[in-house]
Amino acid sequence: MYRPLFEKGKPGFAGIRTFMHLPHVQELDQVDYAVIGNPFDTGASYAVGTRFGPSAIREMSQRIRPTNPAQGIDTSEYLSGIDYGDLTVFPGYIEQTYEIIQEQLKPIYDKGIVPIILGGDHSISYPHVKAAAEKYGPISLVHFDSHSDAWKHIDEKRKFGHGSMFWHGAMEGWIDTGSSIQMGMRGTSSLTHYDETRELGFELLTTDDVKKLSAVELCSRIKERVADRPVFLTFDIDFLDPVFAPGTGTPEVGGFTTYEALQMIRGLAGIRLVGCDLVEVLPDRDPTRVTALNAAYIAFEFITLLALHRRSALDAAGIKQSAAVQE
């Protein structure tokens, strides 16, 4: 059983910078979730530097404890988690990197472990979600972003990037678009792009659409959409307004507060989460480091969703908490 390593009397800023002080382990037995860095940014179209996102998020996670008072749970009582380290990537070689990422994620998924992946630009969701689909079949995508990332690729020489991976997922069949939902789209996109994305089968909610709903209403809509299917949750940090996430490569004004985002994620308790990633943190554009701080707390909410799901399953089975975790 792996828990965050908070030593009594030792300050939170001391020690090796793993996510939330989780043990850095690559043995996969008795592991429920693994925080994994993916320092790849060759798919970026505007500003690069998200390769440094995983290390920045880990740095800013040092004060996060495993307890979530807002959700009424100590995640470490229900889950065994590790910081798996970073995936091997090949900067400049996107298709080769996709292949090796899928290979590295296969043993994670084969063990039933939920990867929580820290990017990196959003193009890396291509192998993340595809690897999940190899295990679970077509995946329901829950996508928080200011961009749909479902643009058709420009030509065969430039097939992949951080704006096209969900178009590929829809066309290749490993995303079940009929049970997928995208939220927060805004900015100066093509006048027809949102309709084209909906034609792929995605439910797409613009920022204006989302702002008309309460967090409870939005989450109810998401849960109805995905039902009990396997879900991959992907969160682009530019879903937040640039005031809250200046450190990103393609910011769009008029976005969401950190509080709004947390309420939306917390409201997803009960979905069948099989994987997630948090992408597009570009620390060099944010000397305050607030972008990475917000990203770290959002990633912790992913862990909380897993713990709540485990607790509900144990309660349904009549298993007491004390028996849920074996040392």
Average confidence score pLDDT of the chain: 92
Cβ atoms of residues 74 and 318 within 8 Å: no
Fill in the amino acid letter for 97. T
pTM over 0.75: yes
Residue 219 has pLDDT above 90, yes or no: yes
Does residue 48 have a pLDDT over 90? no
Pick the residue with more confidence: 325 or 292?
292
* Sign of the alpha-carbon dihedral angle for 115, 121, 124, 129: positive
Sign of the Cα pseudo-torsion (58, 66, 218, 241, in order): negative
- At 225-241, the pLDDT tens digits run 999 999 999 999 999 99
Q: Which residue has the tokens 């030509």?
A: 155
For the chain, domains (ranges, CATH) are 19-148+165-311 (3.40.800.10)
Residue 162 to residue 277: CA distance in whole angstroms: 14
Q: State the burial class of residue 182 (Cβ atoms within 10 Å of its Cβ: 0-12, 13-18, 19+).
A: buried
Q: State yes or no: pLDDT of 242 exceeds 90.
A: yes
Q: What is the pLDDT of residues 59-117, one digit of tens each?
A: 999 999 999 999 999 999 999 999 999 999 999 898 999 999 999 999 999 999 999 99
Judged by DSSP in three states, 29 sits in: coil
CB 153 within 8 A of CB 173: no
pLDDT tens profile 116-174: 999 999 999 999 999 999 999 999 999 999 999 787 866 666 677 666 889 899 999 99
pLDDT greater than 80 at residue 292: yes
Burial (CB count within 10 angstroms: exposed 0-12, middle 13-18, buried 19+), residue 107: exposed
Task: Give the pLDDT of residue 180.
Answer: 97
